[in-house]
Amino acid sequence: MAIFGFKQKKYNKTEQGADAAKAAPANKKAAPKKAKAVKTAAIAPGLTTKDIAAPAAAPKAHIGNESHFASVILRPRVTEKSGILSQGGVYTFEVARNANKDAVAKAVKVLYKVVPVKIAIINLPAKHVFVKGRHGVVSGIKKAMVTLKKGDKIDFV
């Protein structure tokens, strides 16, 4: 009985499996795969077919694992105080719990293409709140205040 159709689908799959087994050839040995043919008409002098079949990979420029740095800096912290500080070249970010000053410096360098001069890391503790008659907790965060040299800016778009 297939009220919602899930047993019906399972039954159809078993029927298809039986049909596929009947259609399979009796000889289990499969024909060997043919090798890919390489055109030799357009080979430059001095190159072999091996050079064309498996070209060497181009070297990649290593700038760092950007996804790792994106996990260090979670988001910019936008408040009144951080807006005022950003006019003086100090930018505030929420960072991961395991982030340190070196990791934040490298992340800012890779993600925003600026070199930080100074970094201060502050742990904000969790706070107990009482809102609308209920007790709750506002989770604590770790923030980093990044000072840039005069003239450097970060645009959050």
* pLDDT over 70, % of the chain: 57
**pTM confidence score:** 0.56
- Indicate the residue type of 93: F
The pLDDT tens digits for 92-148 are 999 999 999 999 999 999 999 999 999 999 999 999 999 999 999 999 999 999 999
**8 Å CB contact between 142 and 124:** yes
The pLDDT tens digits for 52-66 are 554 454 444 444 556
CA–CA separation, 153 and 142 (whole Å)? 22
In the chain, where the domains are located? 66-148
For the domain bounded by 66-148, which CATH number is listed?
3.30.70.330
Alpha helix (H) ranges present in 4-156? Answer: 6-23, 49-53, 66-72, 80-86, 101-112
